[in-house]
Amino acid sequence: MGEKILYAFISVFLTINYGFLLNGLIRKIYARVGRRHGIPFYQMYIDLLKSLALRTNIRHGVMFYLGPVFRFTGGIGLFLFMPVIFGSELFANFSFSGDLLLLLSFQFFGTLGMALGASESGHPNSAIGVTRGLAQMTAVEVPFVMALMAIAVQYQSISLHEIVAAQQGGITNWTLFTNPLAVVAGMLAVLGSFMRPPFDVVLAPQEIPIGPPTEYHSNYMVYLQSNRAIYPLAKSILIMNLFFGGATSFGEMMLKTFLVIMWSVFVGVSFPRFRVEQSIRWFLGIPLIIGVLAIVYVQFFLN
Amino acid sequence: MSLEDLYRKTTISPDGEEFEINPIEDYFCTDKPEEVKPVQNILEKFYNWARSESIWILGFGTGCGAIEMRPLMTPRFDAYRYGIQWRPTPRQANLLIISGYLSTKTLKRVIRVYEQMQNPKYVMALGSCTINGGMYFDSYNTIKRLDYYLPVDVYVAGCMPRPEALLAGVVKLKTLIKTGMAEGANDYANRFDWYKTNQKAVILNWDMPDYNW
Amino acid sequence: MFQKIIEKINLKYPIDVVSKKSDKLMFLTVHKNTAVNTVQYLKDDLGFKHLVLLTAVDFLEQGKFQLTYLLNNPDIKIDIGVRVLIERESATMESAHSLWPTIATYQRELREMFGIDFPDSPGVNDEFILEGWNNTPPYRRDFDTKAFAANFYHQRNSRENNDPSAHMKKNLYPNE
Ligand code: SF4
């Protein structure tokens, strides 16, 4: 067990750093698409240092502390209960049979934590900010769960480990080829949880100066930013495990998650933002229909 | 909120119960700001470097100059190169740019915003209006020199300064931070009473606590 | 076009002065008592539905304020300004907020900047731009803005004021 914890620390540490650099790279890509030189790719680290170096900070009570902690826990938890690299003890983390259901609930954990923390900060607009976030999150989950269920039925399992194991042995065994409908539905739905355009109005900080993180600074900010590094990565590891055959080495993991994240980046730089109600309508449209079709397909044609 | 709402008074609850409230004490912290002396060691130098390389500007524009700040985000000037980013809230920002004349009404808001920022914080003032009144030197409603009301780290002259001048101002601010000379927040805490006297001399209806955390 | 409008108004309310500025713009000066009625007539019956602005001019020497209701008829694309002169001493004017609710904002501004009262206008005594002003209303011409600014706000003493043309002449063409 002790070893396991140590391994978990190592894998979290590596992944967070990978996430920071990846985020820097993505900002660079955004800048280059806009024909700008862009911020340095290591800017994240400086920002963290700066936030840590603030000399004063403001407290609003216990829940205010716990908000970012919950959020960070949501990201880390999502990461820790997944087998990151198939067959590697170091990166197996704490995955167990039935973890798929746990992962689903962990996605909400962060936003709910922020809801509690932000309401304690006394910011009058935090409630509407959190509500918008949760509403969109819920709309994202619906098609995503459809895709998950299609896969669970297909492999007769809700253990991520078994799902990955079933996809080993050649590229044609990936869900991508055995159940393309579920993959399409899942990939469309997951765009909503990468916090990039067109679905980032809920947190776009410059346009809407409201929302949960308004009051957070210094150390709390460090938590939130670390979460922003690890959460999309954890999400893309989940996608990789479900759809693209998992990874058997760190290099493969990096490549596949990179490509999954690039998918959201490409969509992000090409499309303008949706308003919240528009994006909810969108998620409950095409992705949901494809998701339902995927289940029908699995149920009646695959077995 | 009007002036009378801020002081101690008796209210009647929906159940008909009478009780006394004092909004200034109930909702606001009345402590004064405190100076946090920087420890002169290598860590502080390192931190100062980090602060200077990560400047978060508060998106708050006053006067004509607010329009000159926008080009900084565009490809032509691209302030992001210098580690500058815009933040929507005073809690996270560490640079407040006063982009032009300040009417006393805006000054009141600016003071609130400035006080909500966390130490260390910097102020950059643009344009002749903040330096000596500029073309509004005879206006009934605008202040003429900002450094009487807030500690200013860098003035950028011009009417209006071009974005290049603004960038030059930021680079100057960076050197100030690196050498540890941009201690506006501590200055504000030290000479708090002086600043407050000046502020209250021009803001006629002071309907807020003395220090807005 | 204007002639017809003037005739129609004249049947109901007296007009003192007509000053035609162009094919599209005309000013009528009317009595204080009938001013709001004239405006209402223009709005309800002659199609001047859009209130462009309500503003005031201070005629200090005559001891009068001149109010101008600038109206626009979007169908025939014509502007008419209805002018009315009111006494400067304890200036009051009938409120027109029953015609356009938005006019209350103009009246609030005039109340603050010129000290013209509009009884019954909603929120007319609320602060508009100035907060806690306790001096002569600043747009009145007997208010000395420069002296006020010099006394009230902290100055930077190094400031020099130059007359632009004299300054340029001295610096650029000293010999002429
Ligand atoms: S300095 Fe010039 S441009 Fe700037 S606020 Fe004053 S008048 Fe406007």
**pLDDT (tens digit, 9 = 90+) per residue, B112-166?**
999 989 989 999 999 999 998 888 888 999 999 999 999 999 999 988 899 999 9
Element (H, E) at B25: helix B23-27
Question: Which one is predicted more confidently, A95 or A167?
Answer: A167
Q: CB distance from A170 to chain B under 8 Å?
A: no
pLDDT confidence of C109, banded at 50, 70, 90? Answer: very high
DSSP letters for C127-149: -SSSSS--SS-TTSTTS-HHHHH
Interface test with C, best of B6, B138, B203 (most C CBs within 10 A): B138
Take atom 2 of ligand 1 and give the residue whose Cα is closest. Answer: B159
CB within 8 Å: B80 and A49 = no
Interface test with A, best of B31, B39, B54 (most A CBs within 10 A): B54
Q: Which pLDDT belongs to residue B160? A: 86
Question: Which one is predicted more confidently, B132 or A59?
Answer: B132
**Fold that domain B42-202 belongs to in CATH:** Rossmann fold (3.40.50)
Q: Which of C129, C148, C152 sits opposite B105 (nearest CB)?
A: C129
Take atom 5 of ligand 1 and give the residue whose Cα is closest. Answer: B100
Q: Is B61 in the pocket of ligand 1 (CB under 6 A)?
A: no
Count of Cβ atoms closer than 10 Å to residue A207 Cβ: 11
Residue A208 has pLDDT above 50, yes or no: no
Tokens describing residue B208: 């807020």
pLDDT confidence of C49, banded at 50, 70, 90? Answer: very high
Q: Which residues of A touch B56 (CB under 8 A)?
A: 50
Query: Are the C-beta atoms of A64 and A214 separated by less than 8 Å?
Result: no
Q: Which residues of C touch B199 (CB under 8 A)?
A: none
User: Which of B67, B68, B101 maximizes ligand 1 atoms within 8 Å of its Cβ, making it the mutation to test the pocket?
Assistant: B101
A33-53: average pLDDT = 91
* Paired strand residues for B155: B125
What whole-number distance in Å separates Cα of residue C39 and Cα of residue C33? Answer: 12
Tokens describing residue A18: 């990978």
Give the rounded distance of the alpha carbon of A100 from its chain centre.
14
Question: Which one is predicted more confidently, C122 or A113?
Answer: C122
**pLDDT (tens digit, 9 = 90+) per residue, A249-295?**
888 888 999 999 999 999 999 998 888 889 999 999 999 999 999 99
Tokens describing residue B181: 């000379």
Residue B113, amino acid: V
Which atom in ligand 1 lies closest to the alpha carbon of residue B100? 5
Residue C74 has pLDDT above 90, yes or no: yes
Q: Which of B108, B142, B204 sits opposite C134 (nearest CB)?
A: B204
Residues 6+ apart with CB under 8 A from A80: A8, A12, A93, A94
Q: Which pLDDT belongs to residue C156? A: 85
Q: Which residues of B touch A39 (CB under 8 A)?
A: 80-81, 83, 85
Chains A and C touch each other (3 or more Cβ pairs < 8 A): no
CA of B167 to the centre of ligand 1 (A): 17
Residue A91 has pLDDT above 80, yes or no: no
What whole-number distance in Å separates Cα of residue C12 and Cα of residue C18? Answer: 16
Question: Which one is predicted more confidently, B176 or B22?
Answer: B176
pLDDT confidence of C148, banded at 50, 70, 90? Answer: very high
CB pairs A-B closer than 8 Å: 82
Q: Percentage of chain A with pLDDT > 90?
A: 22
CA of A8 to the centre of ligand 1 (A): 57
Interface test with C, best of B110, B111, B129, B141 (most C CBs within 10 A): B141
What whole-number distance in Å separates Cα of residue C111 and Cα of residue B184? Answer: 40
Residue A55, amino acid: R
Element (H, E) at C69: strand C64-73
Place of tokens 């209806």: B205
- List, edge to edge, every strand of the sheet that includes C78-87: C15-20, C25-30, C78-87, C64-73, C50-59
Count of Cβ atoms closer than 10 Å to residue B135 Cβ: 13
Q: Using beta carbons and an 8 Å cutoff, which residues of B are at the interface with A?
A: 34, 36, 38, 46-47, 50-51, 53-54, 56, 59, 74-75, 78, 80-81, 83, 85-89, 91-92, 94, 118-120, 185, 213
Residue A113 has pLDDT above 80, yes or no: no
Look up the CATH architecture of domain C2-155: 2-Layer Sandwich (3.30)
Q: Is C146 exposed, middle or buried (0-12, 13-18, 19+ CB in 10 A)?
A: exposed
Q: Which residues of C touch B133 (CB under 8 A)?
A: 149, 153, 155-156, 159
Residue A18, amino acid: Y
Question: Which one is predicted more confidently, B143 or A132?
Answer: B143
Q: Is B155 in the pocket of ligand 1 (CB under 6 A)?
A: no
Nearest Cα to Cα of residue C52 among C29, C22, C24: C24
Residue A90 has pLDDT above 80, yes or no: no
Q: Is B66 in the pocket of ligand 1 (CB under 6 A)?
A: no
Q: HSE (CB half, 13 Å, CA atoms) of C112?
A: 16
Take atom 3 of ligand 1 and give the residue whose Cα is closest. Answer: B160
Q: For residue B186, what is the nearest residue in chain A, using CA coordinates?
A: A55
Q: CB distance from A3 to chain B under 8 Å?
A: no
- List, edge to edge, every strand of the sheet that includes B84-87: B84-87, B55-58, B95-98, B122-126, B154-156
CB within 8 Å: A56 and B50 = no
Residue A174 has pLDDT above 80, yes or no: yes
Can you give the three-state secondary structure of C96-132, one letter per residue? CCCCCCCHHHHHHHHHHHCCCECCCCCCCCCCCCCCC
Q: Is B161 in the pocket of ligand 1 (CB under 6 A)?
A: no
* Paired strand residues for C57: C66
Q: Which pLDDT belongs to residue B155? A: 94
A21-39: average pLDDT = 91
Residue A19 has pLDDT above 80, yes or no: yes
Count of Cβ atoms closer than 10 Å to residue A187 Cβ: 20
Distance spanning both ends of chain B, measured CA to CA: 18
Distance spanning both ends of chain A, measured CA to CA: 39
Q: Is B168 exposed, middle or buried (0-12, 13-18, 19+ CB in 10 A)?
A: middle
Provide long-range contacts, Cβ within 8 A and 24+ apart, for C70-73. C71/C39, C71/C42, C71/C43, C72/C48, C73/C46, C73/C47, C73/C48, C73/C49
State how far residue C128 is from chain B, nearest Cα, in angstroms: 10
The model carries a pTM of: 0.86
Residue C158 has pLDDT above 80, yes or no: no
Residue A209 has pLDDT above 50, yes or no: no
State how far residue B77 is from chain C, nearest Cα, in angstroms: 32
B92-100: average pLDDT = 91
Q: Which pLDDT belongs to residue A178? A: 87
Q: Which pLDDT belongs to residue B109? A: 92
* Paired strand residues for C65: C58, C86
C47-56: average pLDDT = 94
Give this complex's ipTM: 0.86
Q: Which of A37, A49, A221 sits opposite B92 (nearest CB)?
A: A221
Q: Which pLDDT belongs to residue A211? A: 60
Measured CA to CA in angstroms, residue C120 lies from A37, C103, C113 at distances of 59, 12, 18
